[in-house]
Amino acid sequence: MCEICDGKTYEQARREMFARIAEHDYTKVSVRGEEEGDVIHPGVTYSVGLWAVHSAPELIVVGARGHAYEVVDAYARRVVSGERFRSGRLYRSFFGGVPALLQEVDRNQYDEWLCSAFQLYPDGDFPVLQLVWPNCYGSWPWEPGWEHCEPQPVLTATGMPDVDLPLPRRAG
């Protein structure tokens, strides 16, 4: 979870983050979602260290309560073992066969969503992919009718996918 939110000083959190990166080549940062009246701020989990150690984009998962930590960890372990992922591609190996789209995150989104990453990358010069998935009805977050327990904003410059391929829909 957010270590500073949980009472650690910035310097304590920073030292512990660097120690985890030194030991595992990456670390995961999770920030709990919050509700303010009718507004839901989704939780977020992301990697830090993959770009510095493996020249591979960091990964962020917004929402996906109960799954995001494991998804980021699975991505990171695959990167550490040499696998590479690309923006605009579908992958079926993160959510048990459910298609997931990787999208490049717009750098204007970094301040809001990736605060702890600036401890390692103070100039903000690092790539990030967002893993985006459809709901159980096959709707993607930018489509009418998207419903899920947490919002899933798409962190591209337009809030829409940067992909030309047709995205699969669940039959139903």
The residue with tokens 């260290």 is: 49
Q: Does the pLDDT at position 146 exceed 80?
A: no
- When divided into structural domains, the chain yields a total of 1
Q: What is the mean pLDDT of residues 151-164?
A: 86
The predicted pLDDT at position 135 comes to 83
Domain holding 22, by residue range, is 10-132
Q: Does the pLDDT at position 172 exceed 50?
A: no
- Identify the CA nearest to 146 among candidates 169, 112, 171: 169
pLDDT band at 152 (very low <50, low <70, confident <90, very high): confident
Q: Does the pLDDT at position 164 exceed 70?
A: no
Residue 168 domain-assigned?
Answer: no
- Give the mean pLDDT of the chain: 87
Q: Does the pLDDT at position 166 exceed 80?
A: no
Model pLDDT for residues 74-129, shown as the tens digit of each residue: 999 999 999 999 999 999 888 777 889 999 999 999 999 999 999 999 999 999 99
The SS3 assignment for 100 reads: strand
Residue 147 domain-assigned?
Answer: no
Residue 37 domain-assigned?
Answer: yes
Residue 146 domain-assigned?
Answer: no
The predicted pLDDT at position 95 comes to 73
Residue 14 domain-assigned?
Answer: yes
Q: Does the pLDDT at position 3 exceed 90?
A: no
Model pLDDT for residues 48-76, shown as the tens digit of each residue: 999 999 999 999 999 877 788 999 999 99
Residue 144 domain-assigned?
Answer: no
Residue 161 domain-assigned?
Answer: no
Query: Is the Cα torsion angle 48, 151, 148, 66 positive or negative in sign?
Result: positive
Residue 155 domain-assigned?
Answer: no
Neighbours of 78 (CB within 10 A): 16
